A and B are shown apart, each in its own frame.
Chain A
């Protein structure tokens, strides 16, 4: 269903391990489990989602049981347990945004990308989903795009089209640089 690069297990690079160590240093000795959420965010930012091997590696790194990582990863909505599109468009679907047209934006995304909520486009670039209140109710409708969680406010259908075009160009641009 998806491009091969997403099938890699979660090995950690030196750079990642350096970040992890910085994070663990924020907590008192023996409380390294507190680093779990920040580290899962770091891993997801690199791999796009959390595979079981990646979560097991996190558990080994923090010297906790794997189940302690699974139970956290399954509780919090930001963590993806299966591969996503390169860009995950997350539209706020809670009350205040719906007062100003969030439902219309979601319908437009579905039609424009040709995939249902949670599915990935054939080129592997996009997936989308509705998420709960993003705390930007005065600027609705809004959507965010991980892993940087850039924010797009006061959305219209035209703005969404622009954004998709921009992201496609960005993806192509990146691939060109990688090849050259």
Chain B
């Protein structure tokens, strides 16, 4: 049985309440950090743990913390990014719904480490039920003396608030999130200055994902060194994976980084294989933005090694034959799914969610959506396929924030790996709407890789 750190007590009845959460050892990390460690020592523990940002970028959390500017007399802020909107990802919703105190406890520990006296949890507006759950948990924690003035008699003060978003994927980008938290449109800021120097209200600010913040609790409880023992190489600790699509057992799983992808898909401890006895065609491993891979490349790398759930192994082969761990949004496609239709769907999503600041993204996502619509609906031409590649290339790297890249990668990778399916759509026009291209040669993981 794999080790769990975040979801250990998820099945305990009443774990949402402070009382039960404490019975299971909750808020020990707050006591330990505030009473026995200096803020810098907490930062050091997190650095030692090797924890990497769980929102998608994978940047080392401890290093991000150490960049925080600390000018005299200027408040510093910690903002939790709970604007979970990346298609395929639903782990933060799960954590906040079922074990909200894990996030609250992590917020207290992390705020202490950073010297923040006011912290915000920015939750996407659609998650009103989760907002109510968190507000209740905060009230409980405050009542018990874990929040407010002079926490546990240590002299440390902290106020924690929940902020709702308004329904905008772009607010998951940290500077757009800060704009939104200031009551403005979610337009990403030009960096530098980075939030660590000038973030919320122009003050030094750290923005961390829900899961990253919750992970600081086991890191403080057991020590960074213990945490770093789990995993492979620079991929330390456990990771929440949101598994969706055509799987027998979709849901949120906590895995030890280093788990083989094949085991994750097929073993009964995790997804239990492909639903309805079908075969696997493709996987998007880390949320809709990361490159889609055909099943054979998903399970094994080009060199024939078993692919592991780590930042490095998933990226093996670069974008030619690899992908990214991203946010851990794992989407499985069975043999009946149409790659063209899905790519069109994702591109419509990015067009809808582009904030409109940068022309390559604002216009490019719309063009890609239209061209893909044409191909999917039987009006495409062969040159459209190269046109898509061209537009995607011209968006990538030419925008203020990574939404442009996130829109370009799914298109580029779908054509790279499934070009024959696009060509088949062009050649077969309207027939392609009623009949699927099927599994073709991509991929049966149970057969040897060509």
Contacts and interface: CB of A to CB of B under 8 A. Distances in A.
A33 interface: yes
A132 B127 contact: no
B129 A96 contact: no
A134 B124 CA distance: 9
Interface string A155-166: 000000000000
A75 B87 contact: no
A115 B168 CA distance: 26
What interface size band does chain A fall in? 35 or more
Interface stretch (B20-28, B89-97, B106-114): B89-97
A37 B161 contact: no
B300 to A, nearest CB: 23
Interface in A44-89: 62, 64, 68, 71-72, 75-79
B326 interface: no
Interface in A1-40: 26, 28, 31, 33-38, 40
B225 interface: no
A132 B333 contact: no
A62 B182 CA distance: 13
Main secondary structure of the interface of B (DSSP, over half): mixed
Interface in B112-140: 118, 120, 124-129
Interface string A118-154: 0000000000000111111111100010111111000
B231 interface: no
A135 B342 contact: no
Interface in B228-243: 242-243
Given A99-B331, A137-B88, A76 B125 contact: yes
A78 B125 contact: yes
A135 B167 contact: no
Given A96-B244, A140-B244, A144-B126, A41 B90 contact: no
Interface residues of B, number: 57
Interface of A: 26, 28, 31, 33-38, 40-41, 62, 64, 68, 71-72, 75-79, 93-96, 98-100, 131-140, 144, 146-151
28 contacts: A26-B159, A31-B201, A34-B182, A34-B183, A37-B183, A40-B166, A41-B166, A71-B185, A72-B185, A75-B186, A76-B165, A76-B168, A77-B167, A78-B125, A94-B288, A94-B346, A131-B167, A132-B349, A135-B124, A137-B87, A137-B242, A137-B245, A138-B243, A138-B244, A140-B244, A147-B128, A148-B129, A149-B128
Interface of B: 75, 84-90, 92-93, 118, 120, 124-129, 159, 161, 163-169, 180-186, 201, 242-246, 250-252, 288, 329, 331, 333-334, 337, 341-342, 345-346, 349, 352-353, 355
